[in-house]
Structure 1
Amino acid sequence: MIHLAWPWMLLLLPLPWLLSRLLPASRPQGAALFLPFAAQVAGAPALAARSNPRLRLLLLALVWLSLVAAAMRPQWLGETQPVPTEGRRLLLAVDVSRSMAAQDMAGGYNRLQVVQAVAGQFIEGRKGDQVGLILFATQPYLQAPLTSDLDTASRFLQQAMIGMAGTNTAIGDAIGLAIKRLRDNPATGGEGDTVLVLLTDGSNNAGAMPPLNAAKLAADAGLKVYTIGVGAQSGGGLFGLARGNSDLDENTLQHIAQITGGEYFRATDANALQDVYARIDELEPATGRDQWYRPTTEWFIWPLALALLLSLPAVLWRTST
């Protein structure tokens, strides 16, 4: 799209006409040189043919018009493009152990499917922030590094599968991996800008690092941890069989959040999980703002070059006459 940066320069367009009306005509000054053959040269037919003041005036008008066009700074504006911003750094650690396949959430979906739907919306709402994704079970894996590309982080979450990282649950190792990644990429805005949201449905039964020790290291590193326990409430079923999530270690999750300055939440269904992420949004609002820019290409050089080219024949015409 063509854009004029200084359109008010168009007001200069009638300036030559105004000067010709307001200023008196110039008069020759000083002694004149007498040439006895000047009358004969002036009467030559070849020179008279070249003497066309209207054509020269047209050239001068085009020169001035080109100069005014260049002064208005014509520009070509490209398509709007986003500018990466650095807001809060937020890591999501999602449990993909075998127990996440339990279908005790509303709607007949398993726990991981509900987490993918709700957490995906949470990621997409973190405009301006950097979001990373850790998937953990027997071992933790960094599925998506910290990035401002929220669509990519959300897509990696949707591609997560149960059992891809093992069958057990290593909560402490997941926190340890988050600490390592954050140390490898130190924050520029301060320690309070780093948050880990850890979601699990079980207790720590794998890994080399105990969860509470990992929580202390996280607190020393300035990493605030919010923990979420998912799964239906445990209770008695038919024939005395237990139903719901009886493996969840809520006490450990509460201590992790307390040590690091975060909070613990319980999500028994999709609506409760949405409320949890909404609450985290309130506690840790997105600090970044969407910024956009349009690449600009300056075009003033073209009318300026045209004015230079037209001024040459105008000057040569004057000297030839």
Structure 2
Amino acid sequence: MPENFEIGNIWALFLLPLPILVYWLLPPVRMKSASINLPTYSTVLDQTGQKPRKAAMVKRKGFFSWILLILIWFLLIGALASPQLVGEPEMKVKTSRNFLIAADISFSMATNDWMIDGKKVRRWDAVKEVMHDFIKERKGDRMGLVFFGSSAYIQAPFTPDLETVDQMLEEADVGMAGQMTNIGKAIAKGTALFEKDTIETKVMLLLTDGVDAGIDVLPLDAADMARRDSVIIYTIGIGDPFGNQSDLDEETLEQIAEMTGGQYFRAIDTDRLNEIYDELNKLEPIEYEEEENKPVTLLYTYPLGAAMGLMLLGMLIGNIGSSVKKVKRKEAYV
């Protein structure tokens, strides 16, 4: 992730000339110190006729000391300015909708007429393989699973845990919900699941390879219920409707999609099913929003640490200088 260098407290840089202003505008600090009174001090004054007066000793710093102090000041101001590396705002996936997959697992889905890697497989196995990738890509959606045959049941309620949804999909198999196809029950079950949730955007993906059994709830009646509850239904017909082993009711699937504001797709093989999922991702794109907090790496510790290091160096050099002077004084007395 690219990072940009920024100054957090730009106002701190205006403090850089402060020592110069203090030096020129404020009077020097006067410090009193004890003096040595000589026994003959008064006598000397009387003899010479001089009058005592106050005096001051100005201690001047060497060139190295000034350079050290300037560097320390600059580093302290640099730390106060809070230098930092600021990354680009991270894109956060926004939970935008409930996405329900209603999949047909009636006996007809066991038909062995789809190809994967040059081998014939059951329709359900092919659908599952492609659907695994589709689920993993729906980050941000709360997904649920409804499987149907003669009856419809909830395999996974709405959850943002897509790994769990994927696992529940893998565990489902043909015949678990009966041998017939009841599309109406599947839509009604899914609509009831949507009613229990608060997210307004509701999308259902209905996959089937058969015709409705005509028992209990009719598909178009269930679709009308879904429409009134603002559920968008995308329908996918599995298999070739003109094949010998197909009783796919495309007309009903098209009407369901049209009534609810969705679309109908025909999937005759895994390649086409993959393309359909890509189209669905465009029709119902994942929504993102920027994070309010940008990733920030604070760098003030570096100039602050350097300033403290120079302070210690100055103190160490000062102590060494004082020791050297004391040694010289002792030598002079000797």
The bucket for the TM-score relative to the shorter chain is 0.5 to 0.7
Equivalent of 2:35 in 33, 39, 57: 39
* Contact 1:91 1:195 survives alignment (8 Å): yes
The answer to whether the aligner puts 1:140 opposite 2:153 as a matched pair is yes
Equivalent of 2:81 in 48, 71, 74: 71
Distance 1:301 1:184, change over 3 A: farther
* Contact 1:112 1:162 survives alignment (8 Å): yes
What secondary structure is seen at the aligned counterpart in 1 of 2:198? coil
Q: How many residues end up aligned between the 2 structures? A: 284
Q: Which residue of 1 aligns with 2:238?
A: 230
What is the rounded CA distance, in whole Å, between the counterparts of 1:291 and 1:165 in structure 2?
A: 43
Q: Which residue of 2 aligns with 1:205?
A: 213
Q: Which residue of 1 aligns with 2:105?
A: 96
Q: CA deviation at 1:105?
A: 1.6
**Larger-Rg structure:** 2
Q: CA deviation at 1:24?
A: 2.6
Gaps of 5+ in 1: 42-50, 236-242, 315-321
Q: CA deviation at 1:161?
A: 2.3
TM-score (norm 2): 0.63
* Contact 2:103 2:206 survives alignment (8 Å): yes
Q: CA deviation at 1:199?
A: 0.3
Equivalent of 1:176 in 188, 191, 205: 188
Q: CA deviation at 1:200?
A: 0.9
What secondary structure is seen at the aligned counterpart in 1 of 2:95? coil
TM-score (norm 1): 0.66
How big is the alpha-carbon RMSD for the aligned residues of Structure 1 and Structure 2?
A: 4.7
Structure with the greater relative contact order (CA < 8 A, sep ≥ 6): 1 or 2? 1
How do 1:18-37 and structure 2 match up within 5 A? 19-20=19-20, 24=24, 26-27=26-27
How do 1:146-295 and structure 2 match up within 5 A? 146-147=159-160, 149-150=161-162, 152-188=164-200, 193-205=201-213, 208-235=216-243, 243-246=244-247, 248-282=248-282, 284-289=283-288
* Contact 1:201 1:245 survives alignment (8 Å): yes
Amino acid at match of 1:12: L
What secondary structure is seen at the aligned counterpart in 1 of 2:112? coil
Distance 1:295 1:208, change over 3 A: farther
What secondary structure is seen at the aligned counterpart in 2 of 1:90? strand
* Contact 1:135 1:165 survives alignment (8 Å): yes
1:174-198 CA distance string (max 9 Å, x none): 212221222222335xxxx422110
After the TM superposition, which segments of 4 or more aligned residues of structure 1 sit over 6 Å from their partners? Answer: 1-4, 51-61, 297-308
What is the rounded CA distance, in whole Å, between the counterparts of 2:21 and 2:258 in structure 1?
A: 84
* Contact 1:135 1:143 survives alignment (8 Å): no
What secondary structure is seen at the aligned counterpart in 2 of 1:108? strand
What is the rounded CA distance, in whole Å, between the counterparts of 1:175 and 1:271 in structure 2?
A: 26
